[in-house]
């Protein structure tokens, strides 16, 4: 059977969403203390430097909220085919986007008992992942030639022992419908407890952090193929085995509509673990200068769980397994065949395989170093803080971040221009390196954000508002502007297309 595809058309969508959401980076725009360990005051910033708990009031409460934001770039992906039986191109509409998920980013509460301040806080931590949503329909016109020999079994008027071979050209239309949804997420959700005290400009504190870590994913997809509009008429002259000519006189060939599963697949998995950390911090608070440092030692991190997979692919092309010749008639005297023939297909054979696996990964303890400095100058203020995880071992899961803000001399409302970012990394031995002195490091894409932070205080309440741009979202907006200019010759600028917002409220009695 000769099979030729000669035209494609597609409709629907394929949407791939990238998620990279660092809550401490977002909170930094509400208050520098969330990344700068020199700026802590009470419960705010205590999870990074517990020494700030020495400044706790009779009661401290702080909550921060972030809003969801997404940006997408629409592109046509062109797939070119250059085979002997297929020379064409397929255009698929694809959306690639970035998502910042919203929610309650932080909640903390602190209480002073004598010279000691105690605090507890939780936040949404960090999430990195991908979302996939597919709903595509691909149509193909095609033609193929089906070879069939007609014998006395098809019609008694065909002489016994004679075979009349006919090439049956068929044309039709096939469409493939694909649907699927999937996601994969890495998430960290920390919880903090601490105590701090101080005398004069010097404060100290200790605390504990419990971080629940998860790696999970699920996906299901299904591709269905349907062949219809498959028919033709044959008017031709062929020869039998004896060399005699037979006339195929307007024989109608039709085929049943074929609808069957083409590809199926699915994945489901969940891995979880808990990392514990103990920390100590120091804060020096002078009139024009603040300095903060903290150190955290984490425990081993063991992540274990299971995942399962199932996939099904065609083991061979579909074949026409049966032919109905009851409507076919033959005239042996005039050597003429006429009437109609039906073709019937069997199922598309699918090979299905599945597997289930349990794994456990252990990451060794980390040393986390944090430092920050704050300058309160006459013309402006400057805040700079950072963190870096380190271990001498060859297997590690760590992070690094920084925060930079410049305060502007605006009365009543504290106004800051900020830049902050975070990056994750995994370190593991290279190859068969048993000594562990050679290793590879894989980094996550950075979560880099720029924006403006506003804060208004009227005791005992502090209100904070932020407007910020994740630079990945900004890049997507820029690509859309360029595309609009190329297509329409003008730029349609939406200033809010990539801007996100946050809100915080604090009460200090």
Q: 55-70, pLDDT tens digit by residue?
A: 998 999 999 999 888 7
Lowest average pLDDT, out of 39-48, 113-122, 322-331, goes to 322-331
pLDDT recorded at residue 201: 93
pLDDT of 408 over the 60 cut:
yes
Is 7 contained in some domain? Answer: no
pLDDT recorded at residue 29: 93
Q: 417-451, pLDDT tens digit by residue?
A: 999 998 888 877 776 655 555 778 888 878 889 99
Is 43 contained in some domain? Answer: yes
Which tokens go with 137?
């329909």
Query: Can you tell me the mean pLDDT for 247-252?
Result: 78
CATH number at residue 227: 2.40.160
Is 4 contained in some domain? Answer: no
Q: CB under 8 Å to 387, separation ≥6 — which residues?
A: 35, 48, 368, 369, 370, 399, 400, 401, 402
pLDDT recorded at residue 3: 42
pLDDT of 134 over the 80 cut:
yes
pLDDT recorded at residue 491: 65
How many CB atoms within 10 Å of residue 343?
20
- Give me the percent of the chain exceeding a pLDDT of 90: 38
Residue of higher predicted confidence among 270 and 233? 270
Is 6 contained in some domain? Answer: no
pLDDT of 224 over the 90 cut:
no
Total number of domains constituting the chain: 1
Q: 251-299, pLDDT tens digit by residue?
A: 777 766 666 677 788 889 999 999 999 999 999 999 899 999 999 999 9
Residue showing tokens 């200033």: 495
Measured in residues, the chain has a length of 509
Is 454 contained in some domain? Answer: yes
DSSP E strand stretches across 325-445: 328-331, 336-345, 350-363, 367-376, 381-390, 396-408, 414-429, 439-443
Is 490 contained in some domain? Answer: yes
Q: 319-367, pLDDT tens digit by residue?
A: 555 677 778 888 888 888 888 877 766 666 778 888 899 999 888 888 9
**Number of continuous H segments (helices) and E segments (strands) in the chain:** 2, 25
Lowest average pLDDT, out of 96-105, 227-236, 246-255, 309-318, goes to 227-236
Residue 90 structural domain: 13-508
DSSP E strand stretches across 240-335: 245-255, 258-285, 289-298, 301-314, 320-324, 328-331
Beta-strand relationship, 245-255 and 336-345: parallel
Query: Can you tell me the mean pLDDT for 103-110?
Result: 94
**Pair 407, 416: CB distance under 8 Å:** yes
Q: What share of the chain is helix, strand, coil (3-state, %, to 5)?
A: 5, 70, 25
pLDDT recorded at residue 45: 93
Is 474 contained in some domain? Answer: yes
CA separation for the pair 195, 54 (Å, rounded):
8
**Pair 423, 444: CB distance under 8 Å:** yes
How many CB atoms within 10 Å of residue 7?
10
pLDDT of 305 over the 60 cut:
yes
CA separation for the pair 150, 166 (Å, rounded):
8
CA separation for the pair 230, 172 (Å, rounded):
4
Q: What is the pTM of this model?
A: 0.78
CA separation for the pair 293, 373 (Å, rounded):
9
pLDDT recorded at residue 22: 87
Range ranked top by mean pLDDT from 6-10, 296-300, 489-493:
296-300
Is 2 contained in some domain? Answer: no
User: Cα 429 to chain center, whole Å?
Assistant: 27
Lowest average pLDDT, out of 42-51, 178-187, 262-271, 494-503, goes to 494-503
As a whole number, the mean pLDDT across the chain is 83
Q: Residues 193, 196, 200, CA angle at the centre, nearest 5°?
A: 165
Residue of higher predicted confidence among 46 and 99? 46
Lowest average pLDDT, out of 43-47, 262-266, 466-470, goes to 262-266
pLDDT recorded at residue 2: 39
Lowest average pLDDT, out of 23-32, 131-140, 296-305, goes to 131-140
pLDDT of 395 over the 80 cut:
no
């Amino acid at each position: 059977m000769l099979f030729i595809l000669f035209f494609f058309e597609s409709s629907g969508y394929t949407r791939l969403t990238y998620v990279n959401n660092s809550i401490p980076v977002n909170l930094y725009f509400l208050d520098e203390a969330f990344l700068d360990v020199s700026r802590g005051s009470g419960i705010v910033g205590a999870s990074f430097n517990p020494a700030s708990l020495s400044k706790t009031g009779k009661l401290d409460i702080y909550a921060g909220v972030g809003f969801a934001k997404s940006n997408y770039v629409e592109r046509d992906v062109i797939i070119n085919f250059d085979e002997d039986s297929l020379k064409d191109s397929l255009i698929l509409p694809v959306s690639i986007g970035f998502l910042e998920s919203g929610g309650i980013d932080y909640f903390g509460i602190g209480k002073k008992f004598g010279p000691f301040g105690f605090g507890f806080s939780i936040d949404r931590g960090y999430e990195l992942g991908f979302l996939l949503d597919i709903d595509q329909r691909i149509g193909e016109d095609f033609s193929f030639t089906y070879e069939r020999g007609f014998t006395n079994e098809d019609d008694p008027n065909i002489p016994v022992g004679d075979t009349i071979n006919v090439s049956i050209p068929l044309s039709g239309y096939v469409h493939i419908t694909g649907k699927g949804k999937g996601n994969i997420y890495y998430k960290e959700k920390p919880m903090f407890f601490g105590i701090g005290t101080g005398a004069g400009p010097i404060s100290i504190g200790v605390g504990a952090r419990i971080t629940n870590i998860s790696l999970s994913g699920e996906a299901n997809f299904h591709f269905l193929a349907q062949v219809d509009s498959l028919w033709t008429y044959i008017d031709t002259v062929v020869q039998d085995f004896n060399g005699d000519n037979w006339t195929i006189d307007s024989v109608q060939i039709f085929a049943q509509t074929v609808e069957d599963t083409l590809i199926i697949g699915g994945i489901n998995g969940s891995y979880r673990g808990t990392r514990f950390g103990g920390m100590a911090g120091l804060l020096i608070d002078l009139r024009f200068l603040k300095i903060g440092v903290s150190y955290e030692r984490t425990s081993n991190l063991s992540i274990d769980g299971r995942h399962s997979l199932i996939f099904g692919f065609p083991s061979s092309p579909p074949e026409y397994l049966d032919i109905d010749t009851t409507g076919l008639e033959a005239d042996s005297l005039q050597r003429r065949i006429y009437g109609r023939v039906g073709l019937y297909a069997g199922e598309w054979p699918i090979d299905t395989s599945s597997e289930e696996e349990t794994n456990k990964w252990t990451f060794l303890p980390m040393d986390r170093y944090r430092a920050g400095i704050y300058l309160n100058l006459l013309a402006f203020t400057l805040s700079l803080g950072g963190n870096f995880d380190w271990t001498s071992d060859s297997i590690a899961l760590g992070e690094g971040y920084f925060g930079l803000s410049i305060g502007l001399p605006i009365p009543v409302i504290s106004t800051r221009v900020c830049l902050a970012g975070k990056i994750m990394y995994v370190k593991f031995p290279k190859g068969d390196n048993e000594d562990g002195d050679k290793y590879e490091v894989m980094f996550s894409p950075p979560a880099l954000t720029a924006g403006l932070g506003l804060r208004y205080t009227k005791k005992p309440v502090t209100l904070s508002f932020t407007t910020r741009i994740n630079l990945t979202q900004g890049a997507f907006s820029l690509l859309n502007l360029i595309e609009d200019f190329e297509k329409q010759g003008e730029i349609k600028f939406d200033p809010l297309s990539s801007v996100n917002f946050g809100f915080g409220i604090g009460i200090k009695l």
